[in-house]
Structure 1
Amino acid sequence: MTTGPTEQRAGLRRITLLAALAVFAQESTWNFYESQVPPLLREHISSAAVVGMLMGMDNLLGVFIQPWIGSRSDHTRTSRGRRMPYLVVGMPVAAVLFAVIPHTAASLPLLIALMFSYALVANSFKPVAEALVPDFIPPQRRSRANAVVKIATSLTTIAAALISILLIDDHPKTAFAIPAAIMLISIAVLAATVRDNESPAYKAAVAESQAAPDTVNQRRRVRTTLAEIATDPDRSRLLLLAAIVLFGSAWAASRSLITPFGMETLDMTRGDAGGLTLPSGIAFILAAYPAAMFAESYGRLRVIAAGMAVFATAMLLGTLLHTPAGVTVALCIAAAGASCFLVNAAVVLWNLAPSAQVFGTYAGMYSICWAGGGFAGPALVGAMVDATGWTLMLVDICLLAVVATIAVVARIGTLRRRVAAAAL
């Protein structure tokens, strides 16, 4: 019995919301981890550099773990599919480890051990959850599905802030337990409702494995996929990964350095400067779904390039206005532009994948490139600030966005047009 268009659309909406739930659950703990673990470390460590190094440990682990676990899940075959086994095991373990973190705060070695354990486990299912989107959603609808996922991710920032405001001062252990409980409830819902062995991508991967069994073992290796991307005469995938790193650098710098920027150049207090990005978070949520719809109508690369150009222009606008209200408006415009990249870049990468066999690997590569940008961006822009001063920080960020737009994304568009012309 075949399903009609209405039933198919309902099924796509359902799996989109479930994929968003999986990402919301894991990001709710990550956001709270990033905001509330540093004060625990500061009780033992006075050096901001050491605290920053320990907080960056999860990104370093992710560089090694995420592509590997994504590749492992690509080639897993069980009665529940290839993604759910990792989520069903990993999410409860991560939730327990996360809830225990504040109970170890009195001992620095135990605290670091719990941080390492949580980061290790949480990194092991991050790309797996994100790969549910290309597994279930057809290419033409992936942008809007990924927009819903990104909205869910943005909502976790608000949720983490609310938990911090309401509970962290008086009930720190309860505050950590709430994101952990959200993760446990979410995986219970996912385990009861998702069978990713029924996804189109899983069925295609199984069929491909059966048709060419001799190539399966080679494709299991992450380095094989990376070598294929690096040596492919069509540089689209390689350039897109570079764009993810570059724009990830610009985005991370615009978020992590905005507080000292406000204090140094706008004469704001620490609290007021820290609130500069809050309205832009709402702007991102409002812009994410329209960014997906525009991409489906006008082309993803075109919308990505336009969004990055808007982001860069907004950085210049913030420099020119140079008031708290002006910078807030500029950050809102920048966030709306950035949504065009954040919603669509992963979709372009998935759609450039040679087969459904490697969706998890590609999800892992996107994650590590974005994390790499998040690690390098604040340091690079910080070095530029040392040379040019805090007043020009937004201009420095603009330069990164311009390089990503002109030198990378525009080049990808040229390559894709050449490939299409050669195929005629």
Structure 2
Amino acid sequence: MKIATSAVPTTGPRPKLNTRAAMLVALAVFAQESVWNFYDAQVPASIAEYTTSAALIGLLMGVDNILGIVLQPLMGHISDRTRSRWGRRVPYLVIGAPVAALFFLLIPFAGSFGALIVCMFLFAIVANSFKPLTDALTPDFQAPGRRSLANGIAKIATSLTIIVSALISLFIVDESLELAFAIPAVLLVCAMLIVGFTIRETRSPGYQRALADGTTGQADPWSFRRVVSELFRDRDRSRLFLLLGIFATAGTWAAMRAQLTPYAMEVLDVSRGVAGSLALPGGVAFLVAAIPIALFSDRAGRRRMIRIGLTIMIIGCLIAFAIPTLVTTIAGVMVASVGYAAFSVNAVVLMWNLAPSRTVTGAYSGLYAVAAAIGASLGPAIVGGLVDLTAWSFMFLHSSLLGVVGLALFFLVRREISDGQLAEDAEVDAAAPATAASSEGEQP
């Protein structure tokens, strides 16, 4: 079997970024993640009004991840098979956003523990159903050589939601909890409606390709069962190692972020407020690094950039571990954040490019989300367990070890683009001269 090692197909002129589509996708991602960030920040406090059990709070807050494991790849696959005058992703975004916003709005009005759980559960079901579809719009509109840049723009939008959520919590929550929940909900609905009515998904290359495949008269060969089984049938296991690498890296980052505040309080002997602010410089470093990394990745290759990024992230952890002072901890977190940016910008793009066909990128967006969600759920527990066995001073060392596992797994990812997608591109290239000749012959 021929292994594709180049970042993207290099024949022909370098593709241009569809800037309009990239900005609209970033708007959708910003609105969607604003709701999820505020949910993660404030719903635990709502649950705490009815129980003092930290374990129960953690369990209920993990329900959305559990639902996402099933719903996100399934809905991504369903959207891959959808054909409508609005496209295949947009209908779910336009319908799902107002419904999710309604259940989100009801959370602060829940008058009992049971009502709160029902609102949370219904919100998690609906919001998880369209969560991977905004990401899937990027490969629909962008050529493989521009996807890292487009995804970098979306990741900046995601990072900004942390700031928005913090500002709403700081200035609105104590004055009116109901208004605080309403702001992200309104942002979600307005942004999705703007995207739905302006992005023109039916004109995207991804939709046109899917539409063309549907006119051949043949049944869709990509059932959900086949999409999943293809992960294990892949001869060099690149897709499977990619998913495992995503799990380990997302777990490393989540562990470092989740354990940073108690680490700083225990080891650096700072106040809770100071400890909670240590992630901010890392967030700034991520924002500054995202676009340059995306621009370079489109040329240098995504596997290479992820491996370099994970090495930098591990070095950042080791800096913070080796010299446990406030200044070096901040410096280590900033270095690790730059490294994580290389992973965050490129991992889902690599996932799209390794999909066996361009017609199943929605399902692969869901698979990426599942691997990242499981890693983010288990990573803090793994590192926390190791801390329990040793001491808080070893937290960054344990995080770096999990990062080393992720790095090793990414060295086992041998391809940048799947053979199936290369074959599809070859068919398009072969058909192009015939189409052009036919057009010329029809001219008077």
TM-score under structure 1 length normalisation: 0.93
> For residue 341 of structure 1, what is the aligned residue in structure 2?
343
The answer to whether structure 1 residue 188 and structure 2 residue 190 are counterparts is: no
Contact between 1:315 and 1:397, CA under 8 Å: does it hold in 2?
yes
Q: Report Cα offsets for 1:117-167 as digits up to 9, x if no partner.
A: 101000000111110000000000000000000000000000000000001
Equivalent residue pairs, number: 405
> For residue 27 of structure 1, what is the aligned residue in structure 2?
33
Q: CA deviation at 1:356?
A: 2.0
SS of structure 1 residue aligned to 2:317:
helix
> For residue 54 of structure 1, what is the aligned residue in structure 2?
60
Q: How many angstroms apart in 2 are the aligned matches of 1:342 and 1:19?
A: 16
> For residue 109 of structure 2, what is the aligned residue in structure 1?
103
Per mean C-alpha deviation after superposition, the further-off stretch among 396-405 and 263-272 is 263-272
> For residue 412 of structure 1, what is the aligned residue in structure 2?
413
Contact between 2:76 and 2:364, CA under 8 Å: does it hold in 1?
yes
Residues 402/252 of structure 1: CA separation in 2 closer, same or farther (3 Å cut): same
Q: 2:263 aligns with which of 238, 261, 264?
A: 261
Q: CA RMSD in A?
A: 1.6
The answer to whether structure 1 residue 299 and structure 2 residue 304 are counterparts is: no
Contact between 2:317 and 2:332, CA under 8 Å: does it hold in 1?
yes
> For residue 281 of structure 1, what is the aligned residue in structure 2?
283
> For residue 234 of structure 1, what is the aligned residue in structure 2?
236
Contact between 1:72 and 1:220, CA under 8 Å: does it hold in 2?
no
Q: How many angstroms apart in 2 are the aligned matches of 1:123 and 1:344?
A: 22
Q: CA deviation at 1:199?
A: 0.8
Pairwise mapping of residues 15-164 of structure 1 onto structure 2 (< 5 A)? Answer: 15-104=21-110, 106-164=111-169
Q: How many angstroms apart in 1 are the aligned matches of 2:130 and 2:170?
A: 29
Contact between 1:75 and 1:220, CA under 8 Å: does it hold in 2?
no
Contact between 2:94 and 2:196, CA under 8 Å: does it hold in 1?
yes
Q: CA deviation at 1:212?
A: 6.0
Give the letter for the 1:340 counterpart. Answer: A
Q: How many angstroms apart in 1 are the aligned matches of 2:153 and 2:199?
A: 18
Q: Report Cα offsets for 1:276-322 as digits up to 9, x if no partner.
A: 10111111111111111121222111111000000001000001221
Give the letter for the 1:82 counterpart. Answer: R
Q: How many angstroms apart in 2 are the aligned matches of 1:44 and 1:416?
A: 49
The answer to whether structure 1 residue 207 and structure 2 residue 245 are counterparts is: no
Per mean C-alpha deviation after superposition, the further-off stretch among 187-196 and 253-262 is 187-196
Contact between 2:76 and 2:366, CA under 8 Å: does it hold in 1?
yes
SS of structure 2 residue aligned to 1:213:
coil
Give the letter for the 1:395 counterpart. Answer: L
Per mean C-alpha deviation after superposition, the further-off stretch among 265-274 and 50-59 is 265-274
Give the letter for the 1:409 counterpart. Answer: F
SS of structure 1 residue aligned to 2:277:
helix
Contact between 2:350 and 2:416, CA under 8 Å: does it hold in 1?
no
Percent identity reads: 45
SS of structure 2 residue aligned to 1:91:
helix
Q: Report Cα offsets for 1:68-104 as digits up to 9, x if no partner.
A: 0000000001011100110010011111111111011
Question: Mind listing any 5+ residue stretches in structure 1 that lack a counterpart?
Answer: 1-7
Q: How many angstroms apart in 2 are the aligned matches of 1:292 and 1:151?
A: 11
Q: CA deviation at 1:416?
A: 6.6
Question: Mind listing any 5+ residue stretches in structure 2 that lack a counterpart?
Answer: 1-14, 424-444
TM-score under structure 2 length normalisation: 0.89
The answer to whether structure 1 residue 332 and structure 2 residue 344 are counterparts is: no
Give the letter for the 2:283 counterpart. Answer: G
Q: 1:176 aligns with which of 163, 168, 181?
A: 181
Larger fraction in helix: 1
The answer to whether structure 1 residue 220 and structure 2 residue 226 are counterparts is: no
Q: How many angstroms apart in 1 are the aligned matches of 2:235 and 2:22?
A: 34
Contact between 1:312 and 1:334, CA under 8 Å: does it hold in 2?
yes
Q: How many angstroms apart in 2 are the aligned matches of 1:288 and 1:168?
A: 31
Give the letter for the 2:410 counterpart. Answer: V
